[in-house]
A and B are shown apart, each in its own frame.
Chain A
């Protein structure tokens, strides 16, 4: 028998924290997934534009936050698995199946984890908006909203108050709504990020908000006509000029839009 190797001390640390914050909110027939675009290490801003939110299918968007190298590798592997699924089955994987797949992929590396917090947003088979949140080793649950990353502790309490109406008492004859309208959700998202940018040094530079609409829904139907900086990224639409051309879309199923906003750069 060859001798077994004892513990070896190493000063090499394979992880880093690249800051930033992500956030997702589910509506009745839409989901919103957002993230800032700053990538940092310690007090250094590495770049002002490194996306953390990725379109997976026409009904699923994934936000990754934590160690950027792990995040990019993880997204790459999730996209690869979804492509294999598409080749095998001739359709896109459902949202709840993607969520379970992500848990399996994260847990597969339980003893050398991907140091990333994932938030998956999209449209469920029944047409409802959904958000799934994960921890780095794969624990997950479906929720109505979730913030993660550097400013989670600043944003999540705000969402608890504004989405779940925690610590609020309804006026008589005016119960809290079960679902918020898209325009209202978007203003909560932008306010969350401008506030986080003010108070957290690792948040800022740019904001990318992905909006996933259920089948048959339109932006104008949701009161979002002519908003600046909005472009459609649904796979069946090749809108290369970047402007959202409502009504001209060829998409029959779910649709995805990106809304880009500047954040303070200091």
Chain B
């Protein structure tokens, strides 16, 4: 039992000393290098590895908007555990985020951003957070958590539209950030990104919404054929002048008859 009340997570500020334990700096467990600041520290758990995980997220820019897409699967290791999880989330009116990695960490981020939007709305000052502000906030949260060695285990894409300009950004569990006209997380970075770049780079201001959707759907299908932790059920979010719209789940038709003829895959015995 720790008999020092100020070590129970109370303010360690000389101005606030509810239990009259001043001088604070002489207290046994405060300010001494290597000792816990919080006597319940041993009971605190951190995300050491992701548990229920989402796989790739894809995003591209097109003529008058951005598109972000992710499938509906949340895996538990190699088990396809939840097949109706939404990995896209609208933040405010003109921003959408999509996440791979630990789904409970992602749901925590959703709560965090929702409270942020509510408190900003409550200011009633006529300002709203756009994609750039939400991305900056999220990046700082992710970097701060990694610096406490207590990361939010996700790779996140932020897509948005404001003042006639599209926005796309990436941020991950160690706080790495970057922007580009095509983005892909996880397995998508290896498989989908080359396809997206070939289709989009240099044509960001020509692609129509229909073409963009087609490019993304094709890439998702390739991912489904190659990524064992993916699903052919997915959602697509589009952000444009009108705001965010996240589609209902769609199922991609797939073709497996070719598998029959592959040695070691189908029915052959020898």
A5 touches B36 (CB 8 A): yes
Interface residue from B35, B147, B179, B190 paired with A44 (Cβ < 8 Å): B190
Which secondary structure characterizes the binding site on chain B? loop
Given A10-B48, A12-B149, A46-B180, is A2 in contact with B2 using a C-beta cutoff of 8 Å?
Answer: yes
Contacts of B41 in A (CB 8 A): 5
Stretch of B57-65, B169-177, B230-238 on the interface side: B169-177
Q: Does B28 contact A (CB under 8 A)?
A: yes
Q: A1-B29, A10-B48 are in contact. Are A50 and B178 (CB under 8 A)?
A: yes
Which of A5, A41, A68 lies in contact with B42, CB distance below 8 A?
A: A5
Known pairs A11-B48, A14-B147, A46-B170; A69 contacts B7 (CB<8 A) = no
**B245 within 8 A of partner (CB):** no
Please name the residue on chain B nearest to A70 by beta carbon.
B175
**How many residues belonging to A are interface residues under a CB distance threshold of 8 Å?**
26
Q: Across the interface, do B36 and A72 meet the contact criterion of CB distance under 8 Å?
A: no
Chain B 151-180 near chain A by CB (<8 Å), digits 1 or 0 = 100000000000000000010001111111
With A1-B28, A10-B48, A73-B143 in contact, do A16 and B174 touch (Cβ < 8 Å)? yes
Say yes or no for B251: interface residue by CB 8 A criterion.
Answer: no
Interface residues of A in 55-93 (CB under 8 A from B): 68-69, 72-73
Q: List CB contacts (< 8 Å) of B159-213 with chain A.
A: 170, 174-180, 189-190, 193
B257 interface contact, C-beta 8 A: no
Given the contacts A2-B2, A44-B189, A10 and B149 also touching, CB distance less than 8 Å: yes
A69 touches B177 (CB 8 A): yes
CB pair B178 A12 closer than 8 Å = no
The size bracket of the interface on B is: 20 to 34
Q: Are B176 and A16 in contact (CB under 8 A)?
A: yes
Known A-B contacts A14-B147, A48-B180; A69 and B174 likewise in contact (beta carbons under 8 Å): yes
B176: nearest chain-A partner, CB-CB: A69
For B176, the chain A residues whose CB sits under 8 A away are 16, 18, 41, 46, 68-69
Q: In the assembled complex, how far is the CB of residue A9 from the closest CB belonging to chain B, in whole angstroms?
A: 9
Check if A187 is an interface residue, CB within 8 A of chain B.
no
Residues of B within 8 A of A49 (CB): 179-180
Q: Which residues of the other chain, A, contact B174 by a CB distance below 8 angstroms?
A: 13-16, 69
Q: Does A39 contact B (CB under 8 A)?
A: yes
Q: What is the minimal beta-carbon distance from B154 to any residue of chain A, in angstroms?
A: 13
Cα-based distance from A47 to B196 in the complex (angstroms):
13
State how many angstroms separate the Cβ of B172 from the closest Cβ of chain A. Answer: 9
Name the B residues within 8 Å of A15 (CB-CB): 174
Cβ-defined contact, A11 with B179, below 8 A: no
Q: Closest residue of chain B to A41, judged by CB? A: B176
Q: Is A4 an interface residue (CB 8 A)?
A: yes
- Can you name the residue of chain B whose Cβ is closest to the Cβ of A109? B147
| Structural contact, A69 and B143, CB atoms closer than 8 A | yes
Most buried by B among A2, A44, A47: A2
The residue on A at minimum CB distance from B182 is A47
Minimum-distance CB pairs A-B, first 5: A69-B175, A47-B178, A47-B180, A2-B2, A2-B39
Query: Can you identify 5 A-B contacts, CB atoms within 8 angstroms?
Result: A2-B2, A2-B36, A14-B147, A39-B178, A68-B178
